[in-house]
Structure 1
Amino acid sequence: MLNEAQLQKAVAALLKFVSAAPETLLEEDELLYLVVAMKKVPQKPRNDKPVRIPIPHPIYTVDNAEVCLFVKDHKGEGHKAAKSKVREERVAGISKVVGVSKLRTKYESHEAKRQLCNSYDLFAADERILPSLPKLLGKSFFKKKKQPVPVRLTGKDWAAQIRKACEATYLFWSGGNSLTIKVARSSQSEQQCVENALAAIKAAVEKVPRKWEGVQALFLKTADSVALPVYQVLPDAAQKIES
């Protein structure tokens, strides 16, 4: 059974680690990640469409996030229409609109992809083009856990879609035996981080085959810290784990 006191200790230790780091090595904010280690590799194909996980204290908001939106276009035309819609309707949060054709040309090089990845907090994409993005974006986005999240742009209210994307975190099936999920920011309070982590754990375990019985361990970490265990079972443990 998950020990919430252990989770609280891990969050406190990570926030202390972040605050003690030299300012020159820190960005404005640090992300906290939940790592779910599974007993077995799930027998399911890799799926680049993420599972949306609502959290009580959003990591991003349309007021503080720099969001880049990937859109469907044809010879640049869809891209221009999307930029006009964002500007005219004042869709908050969107700082950049990039068409698929631009990803194939302007962002073709590894360096261009890396710079794009580093320039924005969150990447959203028209859900219709999501399957084609992994090859176009390359490894930088996946290493930094910045895979685009889907938004539905066939309706009129784009602002609501962007807001909904910002108010959640996401689980991506990587094809391996572990999952890494953003759960909080170091600028949030300790209690907010704990509550977000608990919500993410509950939702993630529901998606693991056999649920708690399929979980080997849970860890919390930042990009640069060691992974702190918050839940572990012995590899040969046969007892039923209760949630």
Structure 2
Amino acid sequence: MVTTRKIIKKHVGSSKLTTARSTKKGNHINNNKNSQDEKNKINQTKALKRASSKSSGKYNVQDKGKIISHTKVISKITESRKRKREDNINNGENLDCINLNDLSEEHILQCIRVINHLTEEQLKNNNALFDDENQPIFVQVTCVRIPKTPKRCMRILLPHSIVSSSDEIALFVGDLQRGRRKDYEPTVEHYEDLLRNCNCTKIKTIIPMNQVKTEYDQYELKRKLVGSYDHFLVDGKIAGHLSHLLGKEFYKKRKLPTSIRMHSKDLKHEIDYALRKTAMQIHSYGDTHIVQIGHTSMERKQVLENVLATCNYLSKNYPGGWANIRSICIKTSSSLSLPIYTTLKNKCLVKVPIVQPKRPKAYRNVSGELTTIENIASVTLTPEGDIYIENEKILP
């Protein structure tokens, strides 16, 4: 008897054999097709090479001059492109102008509205005694590369003055009679009459030079003087002598006095022009610099014009120009900074700006011969006190 298992095995074995034979036939056919395709490709490439060699030989013989001129033109184009790239990396003037014009006035106005709304809510929450209290509005500038510059104060002329009606202004003037024991009241009366005749009512107090030396000689008194006034002006004749007497507190509080010409014919215009200026401290201690451009009681359009004027000035006079500016923000002393301009520029595209300090004409090296030693030597002395021996002459 034939069992069912044997029948199944026979059936399965016969099916496997048929499938194996069919796969072998298919593979053999595919291999033949692939070999024929490869032969056809090889023949085509050989024919193309022969044709190209023939044509190239004729072309090289006939049109060598055209090929040489074509290569020269291509080399000139590549050199010009390289120069343009280097100029854009080094200077960045064309791109910077486009970025400066792309400042959105609507976005700046929205930031100003938000700042005014925040200050109003802060006054309500703090239960301020006076509802008309003003808070200064600052522009915060962040640079790409920290510049190597000495400490200096950069004056920016604004279209609208940042001085409010409640601010107090003091004026530093020179003495009519020199000497510590001389009375300075006649000088105060003299300049008060001069301002009264010119219709200058913004200046509240006049501080002579002798009063600064006698009454404000201590550090605590200078701090009180800085806190008692909002803005300071100084006569241009004594501006250089007064800076070292006032101390560092005036520099920290950004209240360095602005110089004016007291001998000018239109003194009122001179004072108004000086009060339109704002000071920005440039240093190399960090990547942020702050400048005041208005206060909360000003109109929004006036603040907008002041912001645009500061950006225009910074694009030309900031260390490194507009290419070195990473971001510009608007803020108050107690609010968050709201950005109005930002870039994601790579640091490698910007060089480190180096600003040399301004030196007077007499600030120069002195060189001469030194004969106090055995060998005569030429020596140079710098204003900082450094001594350099250049060469030595051996005596016979």
Q: Same fold by TM (over 0.5)?
A: yes
Letter paired with 1:188: M
Counterpart contact for 2:147–2:319, Cα < 8 Å: yes
> What is the match of residue 328 of structure 2?
218
Letter paired with 1:58: S
Higher gyration radius (CA): 2
| 1:157 and 2:266 are equivalent in the alignment | yes
Distance 2:127 2:248 in 1: 28
Distance 1:194 1:25 in 2: 29
Counterpart contact for 1:53–1:171, Cα < 8 Å: no
1:164–1:143 CA distance, 2 compared to 1 (3 A): same
Equivalences, count: 236
Long gaps (5+) in structure 1: none
Letter paired with 2:163: Y
> What is the match of residue 58 of structure 1?
161
Letter paired with 1:174: I
Q: Which among 272, 277, 280 is matched to residue 169 of structure 1?
A: 277
Letter paired with 2:109: Q
| 1:16 and 2:117 are equivalent in the alignment | yes
Q: 4+ residue runs of structure 1 moved beyond 6 angstroms?
A: none
After TM superposition, the score normalised by the length of structure 2 is 0.53
Counterpart contact for 2:149–2:282, Cα < 8 Å: no
CA drift at 1:161: 1.2
CA drift at 1:96: 0.8
After TM superposition, the score normalised by the length of structure 1 is 0.82
Q: Which among 33, 39, 48 is matched to residue 144 of structure 2?
A: 39
Distance 1:25 1:136 in 2: 36
Larger % of strand: which?
1
Counterpart contact for 2:234–2:259, Cα < 8 Å: yes
Q: Which among 236, 240, 244 is matched to residue 135 of structure 1?
A: 244
| 1:207 and 2:317 are equivalent in the alignment | yes
> What is the match of residue 126 of structure 1?
235
Distance 1:151 1:43 in 2: 30
CA drift at 1:114: 2.5
Which is bigger in relative contact order (C-alpha 8 A, separation at least 6)? 1
Structure 1 stretch 73-82 or stretch 86-95: which is displaced more? 73-82
Counterpart contact for 2:278–2:293, Cα < 8 Å: no
Q: Which among 77, 82, 96 is matched to residue 191 of structure 2?
A: 82
Larger % of helix: which?
2
| 1:28 and 2:133 are equivalent in the alignment | yes
CA drift at 1:199: 1.7
Distance 2:268 2:149 in 1: 34
SS at match of 1:12: helix
Q: Deviations over 1:137-173 (max 9, x none)?
A: 233333332221121123243222111122x232334
Counterpart contact for 1:70–1:100, Cα < 8 Å: yes
Q: Deviations over 1:55-85 (max 9, x none)?
A: 2x32226x65422111122334755533442
Identity %: 25
> What is the match of residue 94 of structure 1?
203
